[in-house]
Structure 1
Amino acid sequence: MQKWQQTLEQQRVGRREELIQAARGLFLEKDLSGVTMKDISERAGVSRVTLYKYYRSIDELAFEVQIRILSEMYRFAEEAQLHGQNALERLHDLLLTMCHFASSHPEDIQFIGLFDHYYRDSYPSPELEARYRDFLRSSEVFQSLIVEGQRDGSIRTDIPANTLAALIGNTSLSMQQRMICRGHILHQEQGIDPQEMLLLHIDLLVSYVQKR
């Protein structure tokens, strides 16, 4: 690739990043239903003609932001140094790691909740649906540890590994969203410590999947 082509590609990557960040900020401020392509072009400081060269719709940008956030979350988990004598103990450590990610990236967890709610009934197009599902299938944060635990005898084998992985992933993320978005209110109303609730939830999940 020639130097001018490399420069052009770098500019395109930079512009795409600017658009994604502009969309992410607006989605968090206004919810997905309240943002227009005009809003994003104005926030990013580009014309709508330029914006449409990169993204054709709000939906494309929303999925781009969602995949970007989940990719970062999964990378954070994959790079974690897990400790424990068996897979169950390392699973516990992984859940603590994911809890740390949620606590240090509250807006990302909030966006995932907005995305799930906005697209709760259907996907906007077969193309975006296929891309998103392919991405999710390629990301197995919990399943490999569960399979390992079923082999080493630390995790129950009466429930399929993919079912346990889905249970852990969905319930832990739901609890994180609840505590991050409403933890301060729950603290006032119910006198609970949101961080303590997250840790207790981790213990509950680990206890459930442990082989008796």
Structure 2
Amino acid sequence: MSLKWDSELDELRIRRRTEILDEARELFLEKGLPRVTMRDISKEVGVSTVTLYKYYKSVDEIAAEVKQQIFIEMKEFFKEISTDSTAYEQIINWLKQWDSYLKEKDDHIRFQAEFDLYYQSHKLEIEQAYYLELIKINGESIPLVFEQGQNEGSIRTDFTANDLTAWTFNNLLGMVHRLAARGPLLENDSPLSTEKMMEMTIDSVASFIKRS
């Protein structure tokens, strides 16, 4: 009887944690991370704040788990890239997948950008493994793909593979975050659409890394 009760209690806790994360995620995507409180989350879940604190110590802890959820979904979104093409072509295809992700999951990218800014401003630690996973193609780190391209002659060699990776990723992520957060406002101030701005970003990266 006791074992059955313990099992049912564990299942209830798992369901409750899932419900908390689901409701918090919707609030984060709708209102923005800095504007969500534990009281907001408890209200959406339908529990008291006292009960909520039994599951999570803070909004930060909940946000970290939501980010991990989104990250897992993001990894599933990015498809395998054919290794029959050159390393340069593999990198361009990887950049285009980011473009597709922005079009379909701009709210996820907006949350990621807010999460990073929030954690940096509060001097909280961010799991570095997350960023290492973002710079991979088919499970292989981007610097190795750049190095492969340099060896085969498709990518410039006057910069190291690590430098090219840093430049590419910072330019890409900077634009992706900016368009996700301020796309409509940017379009009001510019004759360019968000799609065109992303296309031009990919073209500029492609031109810069290609061996002439």
TM-score under structure 1 length normalisation: 0.80
Aligned equivalents of 2:99, 2:209: Cα separation in 1: 18
Partner of 1:210: 210
Q: Structure 2 vs 1, CA of residues 135 and 194 (structure 1 numbering), >3 Å: closer, same or farther?
A: closer
For the pair 1:136 / 2:136, whether they are aligned, the reply is no
CA–CA separation in structure 2 for the residues paired with 1:157 and 1:87: 13
**8 Å contact from structure 1 (residues 143, 165) kept in 2:** yes
Q: Indicate if the aligned counterparts of 1:83 and 1:93 stay in contact, CA closer than 8 A.
A: no
Cα distance in 1 between the residues matched to 2:134 and 2:7: 30
How far is the alpha carbon of 1:9 from its aligned partner? 5.2
Supply the distance in 1 between the matched residues of 2:199 and 2:6 (Cα, whole angstroms): 50
Amino acid at match of 1:66: K
Q: CA deviation at 1:169?
A: 2.2
Q: CA deviation at 1:103?
A: 0.7
Distance 1:89 1:32, change over 3 A: same
* 5+ residue gaps, structure 2: 137-141
What's 2:25 paired with? Answer: 24
Deviations 1:30-58 (A, max 9, x none): 33332221211111223334322332111
Q: Secondary structure at the match of 1:192?
A: coil
User: Aligned partners of 2:6 and 2:134: how far apart in 1?
Assistant: 32
Report the identity percentage.
Answer: 36
The DSSP-based 3-state class of the residue aligned with 1:206 is helix
Asked if the contact 2:146/2:155 (under 8 Å) is kept, the reply is yes
CA-to-partner distance for each residue in 1:130-165, whole Å, 9 max, x for gaps? x61233345532334323323322222333333322
Looking at structure 2, the residues matched to 70 and 28 of structure 1 have their Cα atoms a distance apart, in angstroms, of: 14
- For normalisation by structure 2, the TM-score amounts to 0.80
Deviation at 1:208, TM superposition (A): 1.1
Distance 1:27 1:91 in 2: 31
Alignment partner, residue 72 of structure 1: 73
**1:54 aligned residue:** 55
Taking structure 1 as reference, are residues 54 and 168 closer, same or farther at Cα in structure 2, changes over 3 Å only? farther
> Which residue does the alignment assign to 2:148?
148
Unaligned runs of 5+ in 1: none
After TM superposition, the structure 1 = structure 2 runs for residues 104-183 of structure 1, keeping only pairs within 5 Å, are 104-124=104-124, 129=125, 132-141=127-136, 142-183=142-183
Any conservation in 1 of the 2:21–2:65 contact (CA below 8 Å)? yes
- Counterpart residue type for residue 128 of structure 2: R
Which residue does the alignment assign to 1:188? 188
Question: How far has the Cα of 1:114 moved from its partner?
Answer: 1.4
Per-residue CA shift, 1:106-151, capped at 9, x if unaligned? 1101112212222233533xxxx2x612333455323343233233
